[in-house]
Amino acid sequence: MPTTVLLGPQRRRPTVASVADLLEISGRLAVVTAGWEEREDQDAELRDHLGGRTTNLLLYARSEAVFDADPELAGAWRGRQERLRELQELYRGRLAHALAATRELIARDDASKLVEAEGDAAIAAVRELDERHLVAIAEIHREFDEAMRPLDRPEIVRHRAELAGVLSRSAALAIAGGHVVVLLNRLRLFGLMELAGDRPVLAWSAGAMALAERVVLFHDSPPQGPGDAEVVEVGAAAYPQVLPFPHARRRLRLDDPARIALLARRMAPRRCVLLDDGDQLFWNGSFWSSPEGVRWLEPEGDVGSGSGSLT
């Protein structure tokens, strides 16, 4: 696996340039802002921050051009997305009931060994539901790929050749945030991570989430809804062992030990890493490290922290 760096949000405290310097990346950076959708070309701040040495791959615009030129692929794509939306609604309904039962058990005051055992079983049931959902998502993607063979279609082949050319002149790949599913779908449509090869990857916000083994949406206090974290996609699996939670201070109730413990235990053995402004987490292909220090959720309900090599 190439070097991958997960960064905190970049709007208030941009750190991409300093991390690129730390990694001695002196050439151009290919940039993905497809999660911004129609605004993906509005990347002046990022370009200026990196001294003008960026090339935006414009994956969202490329995908729209592909769909215009290939109506059959576009129709199949829409059908796949509708199936995924229906699957997500069904999973969300089951998840709400499973989590409600789990919270009721682990919140009981009479924490006997029997109650603890039932709480453990309830968390295991939620994890099984998450895993089953991921398998179903992967099956929908597999059926689409087998039926449409998108990477073999002429328009995709043409764009991939152009993207390969840009990447051959780039020293690293930078992936910004936005709508995580839109971003992940465009990375997948063009097989971009395969094209990127062993170049270092710097990712933040939704970009960091899309590269995980699974994508988890979360917000403990949303304007509407119960605030249940939900698995929403199979990720690009560009790195192992951790799940990134960007904007953690704003989106997670870090002063609620019960919510922290449930989320950490549910996502285990993956570590739930918090990415706020200025945070940096490095994967070198063998182990994780954080020279400035990083925080994560503990199964006991605490927020852990540390620097250097992380195990």
CA-nearest of 262, 264, 218 to 106 is: 262
CA-nearest of 277, 180, 189 to 231 is: 180
Say what the pTM is: 0.95
Amino acid at 257: P
Query: What does the pLDDT profile of the chain (311 residues) look like in tens digits?
Result: 679 999 999 998 999 999 999 999 999 999 999 999 999 999 999 999 999 999 999 999 999 999 999 999 999 999 999 999 999 999 999 999 999 999 998 888 776 888 889 989 999 999 999 999 999 999 999 999 999 999 999 999 999 999 999 999 999 999 999 999 999 999 999 999 999 999 999 999 999 999 999 999 999 888 776 789 999 999 999 999 999 999 999 999 999 999 999 999 999 999 999 999 999 999 999 999 998 889 999 999 999 998 766 66
Q: Summarize pLDDT for 1-38 with one digit per residue, the tens.
A: 679 999 999 998 999 999 999 999 999 999 999 999 99
Record the tokens describing residue 267, joined without a space: 């996502």
Residue identified by tokens 């959720």 is 297
* Cα 177–Cα 238–Cα 294 angle in degrees, nearest 5: 65
As separate numbers, helices (DSSP H) first and strands (DSSP E) second, the chain gives 11, 12
CATH architecture group of domain 4-37+53-71+156-310: 3-Layer(aba) Sandwich (3.40)
